[in-house]
Amino acid sequence: MEITILIFLTSGLFLGWSLGANDAANVFGTAVASRMIQFTTAAIICTVFLILGAVISGAGAAHGLGALGKLNALPGAFMAAFSAALTVYWMTKAGLPVSTTQAIVGAIIGWNLFSGSITDTSALSKIFATWVACPILGAIFGALIYKAVMLILSRSRIHLLRLDGYTRLGLILAGAFGSYSLGANNIGNVMGVFISSHPFSDFSIGNLFTITAIQQLFLLGAIAIGVGVFTYSKRVMMTVGDGIMPLTPVGAWVVVIAHSIVLFLFSSIELEHFLASNGLPTIPLIPVSSSQAVVGAVIGIGLLKGGKGIRWRVLGNIASGWVTTPIIASVVCFVMLFILQNVFNQVVYHEVRYVLSGSVLDHLEKSGIAVAELEPVKDREIVGGTHFRDAILEVKPTLTRELEDKILDVAEIYPLSIDPGKIREIEPGYLSAGQIEAVKALSGLTYDHTWQLYDALSGSSIDWKKREKSKLNKPFNKHLDEQLKYVYELFHQAEGGSMNR
């Protein structure tokens, strides 16, 4: 294993440890603080199900984060991970529940600022909106579920000892499910950037089953998360479960359930497909903070009781942590990148180039964009998204954000070569037979822009053609975009490339 890979792997493990130290409070904090489950028991259950979730369902979806910035160099990506981990560690040491997603968003913005890349303001605004909506929804669900549970309990007249047993079992089951989801949804944040450079390889245990290299990687990250749970999560658990307001065992169970519902709403692809197929408004699959959901649920129960037991000073400290976490992570990442590049001579980002060539202008014109005013920028190869954006705004200052993003996307130089050897690496289960045949038909061709490859594929096979924009077609188009991204990354050439006109 190369020493640089080892260093970057350590950085990822540090982020995993930080996640375990902080986010375990979101699934077991209320149970531990209410004395229904011992910390050691909670830590064992949490760790086991974290590992299961990471290895079995470890897609690691930090939905929406990829649109914020394209971290295209390994040293830069892992400095962003290290900055996020360091920020979460500081907050954990202060006993404040924060989200690794908040820290990573701030670190990505710091990388964008340092590299001159553009931050997708649309994706950022959606993420910010969920950071506001998440605690509010948590409070609403917490209050409604608590009200319903207390009504049922008052009518059922369950014996206290039996109620205690049911509540304890409910907390264990809810915590186990929450831990599994935490592992499945967050392992990608911890180890995802190692997927293209990890040192592992597949190995089989007899003829029973095969453990893939990615599963080994995720297992390592999950173990780091588990170590964080055991070594440093108790303080944050007590802040979440008891610091904001004292909770009864039933209230603790309600908080975990409400928190899980909020995370489900913003992360379930199946729910999105169901809503879209029935013509209903869909909920964006955006990363939300489990810490905010838990805190919101606690506040919801407190407000339902009149708000007298809420410790507003503790809540204010937590809210300040939510605001400062992305800011601190962004500043730390920017400074760390500067040091890594200028002191250790590491390449923390690869330059992204843009050009308004004749074919690009023709493509924009066919899509309905007036290009006459863009002629002064024609054939100028410009490095960096912010510099290119400034250049086009200088000649056409009336551009809307939507048109600006469209021009940036079309003009980006992304060399592609349909290498026959790479074609054999395509996963048959992920692309249909018709899609694979369409790719094979382009063997040996090269492209300078992703839209050129898409035009070639969609022109030769209906399997690659996007459907008309509508709520019913949204799931299909979204899956097709993921397939296209897979193909672009498979055939991308980091250096060189020629235009296929």
Confidence label for 442 from pLDDT (cuts 50, 70 and 90): very high
310: in domain: yes
Per-residue model confidence (pLDDT) at position 501: 35
Per DSSP, what are the bridge partners of residue 382? 354
Q: Are the beta carbons of 146 and 305 closer than 8 angstroms?
A: no
Longest dimension (CA), the chain: 81
- If you average pLDDT over each of 5-19, 323-337, 458-472, which comes out highest? 323-337
Residue 160 has pLDDT above 50, yes or no: yes
Mean pLDDT of 463-468: 92
Confidence label for 380 from pLDDT (cuts 50, 70 and 90): very high
Examine the domain organization and report whether 77 and 158 are in the same domain.
Answer: yes
Mean pLDDT of 157-177: 87
Examine the domain organization and report whether 190 and 64 are in the same domain.
Answer: yes
pTM of this structure = 0.80
Number of domains in the chain: 3
The Cβ of residue 327 has, within 10 Å, a number of other Cβ atoms equal to 14
Closest-CA residue to 136 (of 307, 322, 300): 300
Examine the domain organization and report whether 9 and 142 are in the same domain.
Answer: yes
Specify the range with the lowest mean pLDDT, choosing from 52-61, 324-333, 435-444: 52-61
Which of 342, 376, 401 finishes a domain? 342
- If you average pLDDT over each of 19-33, 89-103, 185-199, 251-265, which comes out highest? 251-265
Per-residue model confidence (pLDDT) at position 358: 94
- If you average pLDDT over each of 190-199, 248-257, 301-310, 414-423, which comes out highest? 414-423
497: in domain: no
Residue 59 has pLDDT above 80, yes or no: no
223: in domain: yes
367: in domain: yes
Mean pLDDT of 154-171: 87
The Cβ of residue 99 has, within 10 Å, a number of other Cβ atoms equal to 29
Examine the domain organization and report whether 226 and 125 are in the same domain.
Answer: yes
Residue 498 has pLDDT above 50, yes or no: no
Mean pLDDT of 145-156: 91
Q: What percent of the chain has pLDDT over 70?
A: 86
Residue 401 has pLDDT above 80, yes or no: yes
Residue 203 phi/psi, 5-degree rounding, is -145, 150
Which residue type does 491 have? F
Per-residue model confidence (pLDDT) at position 167: 87
Mean pLDDT of 47-74: 72
Examine the domain organization and report whether 336 and 440 are in the same domain.
Answer: no
Average model confidence (pLDDT) for the chain? 83
Which of 411, 435, 452 finishes a domain? 411
Per-residue model confidence (pLDDT) at position 65: 63
Residue 209 has pLDDT above 70, yes or no: no
Mean pLDDT of 95-119: 86
Specify the range with the lowest mean pLDDT, choosing from 162-176, 262-276, 363-377, 381-395: 262-276
8: in domain: yes
Confidence label for 311 from pLDDT (cuts 50, 70 and 90): confident
Residue 422 has pLDDT above 50, yes or no: yes
Examine the domain organization and report whether 297 and 430 are in the same domain.
Answer: no
Per-residue model confidence (pLDDT) at position 111: 93
Per-residue model confidence (pLDDT) at position 378: 94
Mean pLDDT of 54-62: 63
Confidence label for 389 from pLDDT (cuts 50, 70 and 90): very high
347: in domain: no
272: in domain: yes
Examine the domain organization and report whether 311 and 386 are in the same domain.
Answer: no
- Please report the DSSP string for 378-403 in residue order: BT--EESHHHHHHHHHHH-TT--HHH
Per-residue model confidence (pLDDT) at position 454: 96
229: in domain: yes
Examine the domain organization and report whether 472 and 360 are in the same domain.
Answer: no
Examine the domain organization and report whether 108 and 40 are in the same domain.
Answer: yes
Mean pLDDT of 243-265: 81
Mean pLDDT of 411-424: 93
Residue 24 phi/psi, 5-degree rounding, is -60, -25
Residue 33 has pLDDT above 80, yes or no: no
List, in sequence order, the alpha helices (H) in 192-248: 213-232, 234-238
Residue 301 has pLDDT above 80, yes or no: yes
Specify the range with the lowest mean pLDDT, choosing from 17-26, 36-45, 49-58, 235-244: 235-244
Per-residue model confidence (pLDDT) at position 62: 44
| Structure-token match 């030769």, residue found | 460
Confidence label for 406 from pLDDT (cuts 50, 70 and 90): very high
Q: Name the more confident of 4 and 424.
A: 424
Examine the domain organization and report whether 44 and 112 are in the same domain.
Answer: yes
Per-residue model confidence (pLDDT) at position 192: 62
Secondary structure of residue 343 in the 3-state scheme:
coil
Could you give the C-alpha distances from 72 to 64, 118, 203, 348, in angstroms and in order? 17, 13, 29, 8
Per-residue model confidence (pLDDT) at position 142: 94
Examine the domain organization and report whether 37 and 139 are in the same domain.
Answer: yes
Which residue type does 105 have? V
Q: Name the more confident of 441 and 290.
A: 441
Whole-angstrom Cα distance, residue 97 to residue 384? 36
Domain that holds residue 276: 3-342
Examine the domain organization and report whether 271 and 363 are in the same domain.
Answer: no
Which of 392, 411, 430 finishes a domain? 411
Q: What percent of the chain has pLDDT over 90?
A: 33
